[in-house]
C-alpha cells in the first residue's frame, strides 16, 4: 500500500501544465471517438477490440511466449491500418458532423430556408394538418424537411413534383396503395420537391433498445437514418398506431399531438435575431434608461 501511495505521489509531483494539456487532449480524442460510435453497431465491435487487446497484453506480460509475442507485435500494425476500414461509416459520419459544425460557425446563423417567413409557416401548418389527418386515418407517412444540408442525392431517388405544400397533396401522396405512398416526401423552400424517395436506414440501436420496437418499422428507421446523415427534420406517422413522431440529429420524439408537433417545427424554423452592427451590440449590452427612470432621477 505504501508503495502504491509513493508511486501516486511521484506521478503527481511530475505533473505540470504541459502534462495536463497532454492528458486533456488525449481524453478529448477518446471522448469524441466514443461519442461518434455511441448507439451504433460499431460500439460492440469497438468494445470487442479493446477487450481483445487487453487480454492479449495481459497474456504476453504474464506468460513468456516469444513466438506468440512476435506474432502479436507483427499483426498489431495491420490491425491499426484495418481500423479506418472497419469504422469507415462512423468516421465519415463524424467528419460530416464536424463539417456541419464548421459551416454553422462560419455562417453564425444557418440558413434554414430561403422562402419568406409567412410561406414557410403556411407550409409547416400544412404539414401539421396533414400529419393530424393521416394519424386519424392511420395512414403511414414520412415527411422530410430540408434545412441547411442538401438532400439532392435523395431527391434523385424519387419522383420529382415541385409542388406547393398543401394538406390535400400530402394526403393524396400517402393514401394507401397509390404509386407514391411508399418512400418519403422531401420538402425544401416550402415546396414538395419529390415523393417516393429512398432514405438511408438508421444503423443505431435506438429502435432496437426501445420498448416500443414492435410499433416502429422501416419508416421510423428511415426517419432516424436521414436525421443521422443530415440536419433534416423527419415527421413520421405510424401505419400501425397512427402515432406522430419527429426525428432530428439521430433522436426521436414519439406520440406527439398536432399542436405539439407544430410548436416543435416552428421552434426549429423560428428565425434568430442577433445584433449585427456595433451600435446595436452596444444597445444590447448597455440599454438606455427608460423615460420613467429618467423622470424619477
What is the Cβ-side half-sphere exposure of residue 280, based on CA atoms within 13 angstroms? Answer: 5
Q: Which three cell numbers stand for residue 37?
A: 460510435
Q: Contact at 8 Å (CB) between 126 and 165?
A: yes
Identify which has the larger pLDDT, 54 or 273: 54
| Contact partners, residue 108, CB within 8 Å, separation at least 6 | 274
Percent residues over pLDDT 70 in the chain: 68
Identify which has the larger pLDDT, 205 or 65: 65
Q: Rounded distance, CA 47 to CA 134, Å?
A: 42
Fold of 117-269: YojJ-like (1 (3.40.1700)
pLDDT value of residue 70: 80
Q: 3-class DSSP state for residue 192? A: strand
Identify which has the larger pLDDT, 184 or 114: 184
pLDDT value of residue 291: 46
Claim: this prediction has a pTM higher than 0.85: no
b/e code 18-48 from CB counts within 10 Å (16+ = b):
eeeeeeeeeeeeeeeeeebbebbebbeebee
Query: Is residue 39 pLDDT above 80, yes or no?
Result: no
Average pLDDT across the chain, whole number: 77
Nearest to 94 by CA among 280, 289, 250: 250
What is the mean predicted confidence (pLDDT) over 156-165?
94
Identify which has the larger pLDDT, 282 or 140: 140
Rounded-to-10 torsion of CA 60, 65, 71, 74: 60
Query: Is residue 156 pLDDT above 80, yes or no?
Result: yes
Identify which has the larger pLDDT, 245 or 36: 245
Query: Is residue 273 pLDDT above 50, yes or no?
Result: no
Task: Render pLDDT for 75-101 as a digit per residue (tens, 0 to 9).
Answer: 777 776 776 676 666 666 666 666 655
What is the mean predicted confidence (pLDDT) over 265-294?
54
Give the domain ranges of the chain: 2-107, 117-269
pLDDT value of residue 89: 62
Q: Rounded distance, CA 126 to CA 134, Å?
A: 12
Amino acid at each position: 500500500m505504501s508503495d502504491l501511495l509513493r508511486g501516486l505521489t511521484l506521478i503527481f509531483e511530475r505533473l505540470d501544465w504541459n502534462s495536463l494539456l497532454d492528458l486533456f487532449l488525449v481524453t478529448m480524442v477518446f471522448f469524441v471517438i466514443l461519442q461518434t460510435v455511441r448507439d451504433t453497431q460499431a460500439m460492440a465491435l469497438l468494445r470487442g477490440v479493446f477487450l481483445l487487446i487487453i487480454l492479449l497484453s495481459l497474456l504476453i506480460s504474464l506468460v513468456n511466449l516469444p513466438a506468440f509475442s512476435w506474432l502479436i507485435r507483427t499483426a498489431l500494425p495491420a490491425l491499426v491500418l484495418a481500423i479506418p476500414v472497419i469504422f469507415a461509416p462512423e468516421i465519415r459520419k463524424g467528419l460530416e458532423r464536424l463539417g456541419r459544425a464548421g459551416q454553422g460557425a462560419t455562417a453564425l446563423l444557418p440558413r434554414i430556408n430561403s422562402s419568406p417567413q409567412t410561406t414557410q409557416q403556411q407550409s409547416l401548418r400544412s404539414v401539421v394538418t396533414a400529419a393530424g389527418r393521416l394519424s386519424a386515418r392511420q395512414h403511414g407517412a414520412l415527411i422530410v424537411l430540408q434545412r441547411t444540408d442538401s438532400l439532392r442525392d435523395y431527391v434523385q431517388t424519387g419522383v420529382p413534383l415541385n409542388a406547393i405544400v398543401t394538406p390535400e397533396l400530402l394526403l393524396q401522396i400517402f393514401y394507401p396503395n397509390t404509386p407514391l405512398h411508399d418512400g418519403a416526401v422531401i420538402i425544401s423552400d416550402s415546396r414538395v420537391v419529390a415523393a417516393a424517395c429512398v432514405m438511408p436506414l438508421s444503423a443505431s440501436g435506438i429502435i432496437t433498445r426501445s420498448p416500443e420496437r414492435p410499433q416502429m418499422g422501416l419508416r421510423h428507421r428511415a426517419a432516424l437514418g436521414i436525421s443521422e446523415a443530415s440536419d433534416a427534420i423527419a415527421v413520421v406517422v405510424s401505419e400501425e398506431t397512427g402515432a406522430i413522431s419527429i426525428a432530428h440529429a439521430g433522436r426521436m420524439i414519439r406520440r406527439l399531438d398536432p399542436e405539439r408537433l407544430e410548436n416543435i417545427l416552428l421552434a426549429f424554423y423560428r428565425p434568430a435575431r442577433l445584433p449585427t452592427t456595433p451600435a446595436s451590440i452596444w444597445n444590447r449590452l448597455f440599454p438606455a434608461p427608460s423615460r420613467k427612470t429618467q423622470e424619477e432621477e
